[in-house]
A = this chain, B = another copy of it.
């Protein structure tokens, strides 16, 4: 198994790795924070290093989201735990209708993690923050003994300010509404699985881990006509549809032939016996929109450089099952959720 950011654990000397003393609150903790963490993530708010960060005045409604990241391995084709911890939380704010403002960052580190791995993760966090126009406002660092966690877990909690028009949410989905995805699905889960299991594809499947900033910008003028949006992370697009069907009381139907799936994801999914609809995305979202808006939404996404954006299905009056799929031969059947746990530690 890949031990992290191309930097295996056992070869490091004691001074190159995180020790329990780094988490004890005394001098080594302050050095770790001052010389490594603050140095990379520096900004006027974080640099105060108070018990709480002063974010300043806000004239609009505050929105908050939290996410812990336990992805294994720490680095995978197309991304790493650091950038993903920023993008994932930024995306949760974006799809909820917020303008992301800042994040907190909490690290749980396994004793023995090479400091070089920590440095690389911090740099990826900072780069991702700059890309998304956010900053790390406050943080926390804990160290646990070997075997008590797996290298590194990260929590980011995000604060944003509500836009003037917020999506109504999944309860507002009505019969006749259309379902849209912004890009090819399942990319992230397949990339992590292939990497973790040593499946040597050339080129390897790439995660779609990225912020949804450009998609949201393209959809801005159409936002008053969007019912709801959701980044299709754990459980994939399938889990979003199940949840929306529950919330709306509609049956949601998607057409297999209209769902964009890359050749790589299709190949690996078949190899592993997975349905891409159940596999996590980290830079692709699902929207439910009024049917008269669907074409405009897809056109706007195509024009903004997302050629795979597709209308994949519709909402209709609830019949027996919450979600159905129309297969390649036109037959409709219930779409079941997986009962097992095929994809642990994808995010």
Contact = CB atoms under 8 A, between A and B. Distances in A.
Contact of A55 (B61, B108, B166): B61
A82 to B, nearest CB: 16
Interface string A232-255: 011110110011001000000000
B106 A345 contact: no
Interface string A145-178: 1011110010101111010001001000000000
Contacts of A54: 61-63, 96, 162, 166
Interface stretch (A25-33, A180-188, A260-268): A25-33
Contacts of A290: none
A72 B147 CA distance: 14
A155 B108 CA distance: 10
Interface stretch (A97-105, A190-198, A292-300, A326-334): A97-105
A216 interface: no
B66 A153 contact: no
A159 B62 contact: yes
Q: How many copies does the complex hold?
A: 2
Interface string A126-160: 00000000000111101111011110010101111
Interface string A47-88: 010111111111011111111101010000000000000000
B278 A104 contact: no
Interface of A: 19-21, 23-30, 48, 50-58, 60-68, 70, 72, 92-93, 95-96, 98, 102, 104-108, 137-140, 142-145, 147-150, 153, 155, 157-160, 162, 166, 169, 230-231, 233-236, 238-239, 242-243, 246, 278, 280, 337-345
Given A21-B341, A145-B344, 15 more contacts: A24-B338, A26-B338, A27-B339, A50-B96, A52-B64, A52-B96, A52-B158, A54-B96, A54-B166, A58-B58, A58-B61, A64-B137, A66-B105, A144-B344, A155-B157
